[in-house]
């Protein structure tokens, strides 16, 4: 099979996207990638990320592809965890202090900054609504973040998210309080949880 056709087939089987690293792992020369770009069969989404020209646009995947240190958080994470019905028009993304240049011209992103050592706290990988793997904070870290950032949140989204979380069978209150302690908001989180549960 021709390498360019093989590459198209791999991209199709990968949800319509591929990274330069995945191409290297599959031992396909980047020449074939450049050839497909030149022919207009694929497009460059951002540095090292490519998709089929006529493929659907998974904005969740595209937004995170701009930085390997980015994580969906706050209202966007609430939506991904089904703790909010509001499909985000602006994406909440958390990155470590000192990063974020790749988002400087992006109007649809609300950046949150954390210390590097807190970036991975509660970090999981889950599927976007389009089936692509994205980095997002788990429900407990997300609840901590929205309590911490309450003044910057829509009150209705905030209230409904806490109510939905309190009814989740999968909620982990021990993990929630452990995160809250690490984020130095354990008193606030305890107050909210005592009212809800």
- Summarize pLDDT for 7-17 with one digit per residue, the tens: 888 888 877 87
Under the banding of pLDDT at 50, 70 and 90, the label for residue 55 is low
Query: Average pLDDT for residues 70-85, to the nearest whole number?
Result: 97
Q: Which one has a higher pLDDT value, 183 or 105?
A: 183
Could you tell me the residue ranges of all domains in the chain?
3-56, 60-196
State the first-to-last Cα distance of the chain, in angstroms, to the nearest integer.
60
User: Cβ(77)–Cβ(93) under 8 Å?
Assistant: no
The CATH number of domain 3-56 is 1.10.150.80: no
> Who's near 41: CB < 8 A, 6+ residues apart?
8, 52, 53
Query: Can you tell me whether residue 125 is helix, strand or coil?
Result: strand
- Summarize pLDDT for 118-144 with one digit per residue, the tens: 999 999 999 998 888 899 999 999 999
CA separation for the pair 10, 24 (Å, rounded): 12
CA separation for the pair 171, 191 (Å, rounded): 17
The helix or strand, by DSSP H or E, that contains position 110, with its residue range, turns out to be strand 109-114
């Amino acid at each position: 099979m021709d390498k360019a056709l093989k590459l198209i087939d791999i991209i199709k089987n990968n949800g319509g996207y591929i990274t330069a690293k995945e191409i290297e792992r599959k031992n396909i020369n980047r020449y074939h990638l450049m050839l497909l770009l030149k022919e207009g069969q694929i497009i460059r989404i951002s540095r090292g990320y490519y998709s089929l020209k006529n493929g659907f646009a998974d904005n969740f995947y595209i937004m995170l592809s701009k930085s390997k240190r980015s994580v969906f958080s706050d209202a966007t994470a609430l939506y991904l965890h089904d703790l909010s019905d509001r499909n985000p028009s602006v994406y909440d993304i958390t990155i470590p202090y000192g990063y974020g240049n790749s988002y400087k011209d992006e109007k649809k992103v609300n950046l949150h900054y954390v210390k590097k050592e807190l970036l991975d706290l509660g970090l999981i990988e889950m599927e976007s609504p389009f089936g692509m793997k994205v980095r997002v904070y788990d429900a407990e870290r997300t609840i901590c973040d929205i309590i911490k950032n309450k003044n910057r949140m829509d009150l209705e989204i905030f209230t409904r998210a806490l109510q939905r979380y309190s009814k989740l069978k999968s909620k982990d209150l021990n993990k929630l309080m452990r995160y809250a302690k690490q984020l130095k908001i354990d008193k606030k989180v305890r107050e909210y949880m005592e009212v809800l549960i």
